[in-house]
Amino acid sequence: MMAELLAGRHPFHGRSDMDHLSEILALLGTADIKEWSGYDGRRLPSGCQLGSFLRNKFPCPTKARIKGPPTLSEAGFEVLSALLRCNPEKRLTAEQALKHRWFKDTKPRAIRR
């Protein structure tokens, strides 16, 4: 939900559960899911890589181009990436996310779309 609000559109467009899983893992990488104690070693969709490309979707404001994807501060990115962890044992809960420093920032910055 947070990624959708920040981007102004749904980040995944698959037509099936497997399509969605492929898109999610292509963006977030597979390292996190493989660390999860509940992962049973099943083969993951092809084309998925270890590394995450999430930061490319939400660049840091100081590194963003004039026109491009919406920017997100380091603190905001910490929240987003922790909410999107594939490993549920490491994923932030809503309560934990709301206690993050990003939500306590006294000078919230508008995001660029």
pLDDT 10s digits, 24-57: 777 777 777 777 777 777 776 666 666 666 766 6
Show the domains of the chain with their CATH numbers.
2-37+45-104 (1.10.510.10)
- Assign residue 42 a region: left if phi > 0, alpha if psi is -120 to 50, beta otherwise? beta
* pLDDT tens readout for residues 91-112: 999 999 999 998 887 565 555 5
Q: Indicate the pLDDT class of residue 72, thresholds 50, 70 and 90.
A: confident
d(CA 77, CA 3): 10
* pTM over 0.75, yes/no: no
